[in-house]
Amino acid sequence: MLIKRIFYITVFFLVFGLTAEASQNNITLNYPPDKTVMEFDLLSISLTVPQGSADLIKVNINDQEKVEIIPDSNFECFSIPLKVGINRINISAIKENKQADEIIMSVFRRSELISAYKDPPAGFKKDYFHMKNHIKCAACHTLEPSESDRKPVNIAAFPTEILVYGKDVAATTSTCYSCHKGLTSYPFVHGPTAVWSCLSCHDPQTNPKYSVKKPDTKVCFSCHIEQKEGWYTKKYFHGPFNTGKCAICHSPHASENPFNLVKTTWDLCLSCHIDKGSGKHIVKGFFVTYYHPTHGKPDPLRKGKELTCASCHEPHTSDSPRLLRLNVGSGFALCKKCHLE
Ligand code: HEC
Ligand code: HEC
Ligand code: HEC
Ligand code: HEC
Ligand code: HEC
Ligand code: HEC
Ligand code: HEC
Ligand code: HEC
């Protein structure tokens, strides 16, 4: 009995003593867990890098090198870009020009626009970071929102509001900023996100914490009242508008494109209407060799903008069939708006 117990205790110390020592020279991943599902193009990574365990950290995504870090503290926090679909992430610790350790994981980025990527593959699931207690992170970050995060956003007062809060002041007084600062580094930032009024949409009282009300219209129309009133008086509604998924086309945070569109207008429309890019559908008749342009030319009616699908169609609702713009009633009346003669 006693011998057996001593044996177990010895094994216990051997195993745990050894692993504890081994892990001192290894990097560990605090976040994210393998096979996480993300919605947008930014993933936060947090590593513990014990002193002396690495001279360099290299991060490869889908075999392309994306980030190189010279570790200068026990904790390394950074964010990496994600493409739609599966992202294979490989983090190598390099010491004296040799690979000392390696972490391999996969992260899936969902997309409502591409049916093959709507649902995560088997084994992948969403991890709710804020549903867990992160004592390790709390040593350097504030994890609970404070009063300064409760910024009311008055759409009528925008963009003067940016001046009131000051973009930089808004950022530095936000508790979310230290971890989510990458979210706004795009040319077109959505109003409430620009002033770090994250709680306008992410309520800390919901379950899961910070989850956004669905359908999106509930959230979006709480501020965009003018659009709501205008759009619902129209006769024809666009399919995706009708489903209430505004975020299928607009990023609620920020993007590369005007109106925070998730893609350029042309690419966006083509994600669902692939056959319309040619312009074949616009000019019908005997001169079948000519197809009307749908992009790449200036829009005669909107100074400084390119001709796109939205030059002729409303993306939300319209009083004219085929969602035609400019209240024209028919395709022919539409032609005359741009071709006067
Ligand atoms: C030893 C202190 C420390 C600890 C512990 C720590 N962080 Fe950080 N983290 C920082 C510093 C410093 C920054 C840079 C902040 C800045 O520039 O405003 C940062 C930045 C970040 C960023 C933004 C990175 C970027 O470039 O986009 C994320 C995400 C992050 N931390 C997540 C975490 C998570 C998750 C944990 C817990 C697992 C954690 N951090 C623990 C110090 C720490
Ligand atoms: C310690 C760093 C840290 C701070 C501070 C922080 N977050 Fe996060 N948050 C994360 C990480 C890491 C994730 C995982 C997703 C990712 O990679 O960006 C996350 C995810 C989220 C999500 C997605 C749901 C979830 O739980 O995974 C929301 C929404 C969110 N954060 C909102 C906020 C808001 C609002 C604030 C400020 C009140 C905030 N966060 C402060 C690190 C942080
Ligand atoms: C206009 C509303 C709105 C505002 C303002 C907003 N968000 Fe979001 N956020 C959303 C929606 C919608 C989602 C997608 C949630 C879903 O479908 O699960 C989201 C998702 C996220 C995620 C998850 C990312 C992922 O890839 O899974 C994070 C992190 C996040 N928000 C952080 C923030 C932070 C930080 C702020 C403040 C700077 C902020 N959000 C402001 C609406 C908003
Ligand atoms: C808390 C209030 C608030 C909420 C909620 C909100 N918005 Fe906004 N939105 C604004 C403000 C403020 C602006 C900036 C208006 C300006 O610059 O004049 C804006 C601008 C926009 C623009 C650009 C308009 C333009 O003319 O460039 C789009 C597109 C947009 N929002 C879509 C959305 C969508 C989609 C949602 C829901 C996911 C949403 N908004 C939720 C406040 C809000
Ligand atoms: C099918 C994609 C799509 C959907 C779904 C969509 N939008 Fe848009 N939205 C667009 C495009 C494209 C534009 C730019 C139109 C242009 O170039 O004139 C736009 C422009 C806007 C604008 C600025 C111009 C304006 O009319 O005031 C706001 C605000 C806006 N959308 C909010 C929303 C809200 C809120 C929802 C959900 C109810 C929504 N959108 C759903 C594609 C979409
Ligand atoms: C997420 C998929 C999706 C996207 C993105 C999308 N559409 Fe559609 N669209 C649909 C569906 C589904 C229908 C058919 C249902 C209906 O008639 O509204 C439709 C119908 C239409 C119609 C025909 C309406 C009628 O009365 O026959 C037009 C015109 C149109 N879309 C234009 C656009 C334009 C312009 C864009 C880009 C701003 C766009 N769509 C982006 C899904 C999409
Ligand atoms: C120069 C104006 C113009 C442009 C640009 C344009 N359309 Fe159209 N579109 C029309 C007209 C006119 C009709 C109505 C044709 C009819 O009634 O037969 C139409 C009809 C449609 C329809 C519904 C009819 C059908 O065949 O299913 C869809 C969907 C559509 N367009 C999508 C798009 C998309 C996507 C783009 C951008 C790639 C685009 N359109 C660019 C003028 C335009
Ligand atoms: C939103 C503005 C707009 C509308 C509406 C529009 N077009 Fe065009 N159209 C253009 C532009 C821009 C060009 C390209 C001119 C160039 O190449 O510089 C063009 C070119 C043409 C051409 C080639 C000859 C030329 O002038 O270069 C024909 C033919 C034509 N359109 C017919 C039509 C017909 C028919 C309709 C109605 C179904 C129509 N367009 C509606 C903007 C428009």
Residue in 226, 228, 249 to alter for ligand 5 test, most ligand atoms within 8 A of Cβ: 249
Q: Is the CB of 44 under 6 A from ligand 1?
A: yes
Taking the centre of ligand 2 as the mean of its atom positions, its distance from the CA of residue 35, in whole angstroms, is: 18
Give residue-wise pLDDT tens across range 267-324: 999 999 999 999 999 987 665 677 899 999 999 999 999 999 999 999 999 999 999 9
Q: Where are the alpha helices (DSSP H) in the chain?
A: 2-23, 135-138, 160-165, 167-172, 177-180, 191-194, 216-220, 225-231, 239-242, 265-272, 331-338
Ligand 7 closest atom vs CA 293: 5
Spatial distance between the Cα atoms of 330 and 257, rounded to a whole number of angstroms? 30
**Residue 2, pLDDT above cutoff 60:** no
**Residue 192, pLDDT above cutoff 80:** yes
H helix or E strand, kind and range, residue 66: strand 64-69
At 61, is the pLDDT very low, low, confident or very high (cuts 50, 70, 90)?
A: very high
**Residue 3, pLDDT above cutoff 50:** no
Report CA torsion sign: 103, 104, 110, 114.
Answer: positive
Say which CATH superfamily domain 26-133 falls into. Immunoglobulins (2.60.40.10)
Give the pLDDT confidence score for residue 163 in this predicted structure.
64
Taking the centre of ligand 5 as the mean of its atom positions, its distance from the CA of residue 183, in whole angstroms, is: 21
Taking the centre of ligand 4 as the mean of its atom positions, its distance from the CA of residue 183, in whole angstroms, is: 16
Taking the centre of ligand 5 as the mean of its atom positions, its distance from the CA of residue 29, in whole angstroms, is: 39
Give the pLDDT confidence score for residue 188 in this predicted structure.
94
At 332, is the pLDDT very low, low, confident or very high (cuts 50, 70, 90)?
A: confident
Closest to 248 (Cα-Cα) out of 224, 214, 207, 201: 214
Give residue-wise pLDDT tens across range 235-268: 999 999 999 999 999 999 999 999 999 999 999 9
Q: Is the CB of 108 under 6 A from ligand 2?
A: no
- Provide the mean pLDDT of the chain: 89
Give the pLDDT confidence score for residue 17 in this predicted structure.
38
Q: Kindly report the pTM of this predicted structure.
A: 0.94
Mean pLDDT of 106-131: 96
**Residue 20, pLDDT above cutoff 60:** no
Mean pLDDT of 88-114: 96
Contact call for residues 102 and 29 (beta carbons, < 8 A): no
Residue in 253, 255, 259, 260 to alter for ligand 3 test, most ligand atoms within 8 A of Cβ: 253
Q: Is the CB of 139 under 6 A from ligand 1?
A: yes
Q: Domain residues of the chain, as ranges?
A: 26-133, 147-232, 263-338
User: Distance from CA of residue 112 to its chain's centroid?
Assistant: 12
Mean pLDDT of 38-44: 96
Taking the centre of ligand 8 as the mean of its atom positions, its distance from the CA of residue 338, in whole angstroms, is: 7
Q: Is the CB of 181 under 6 A from ligand 1?
A: yes
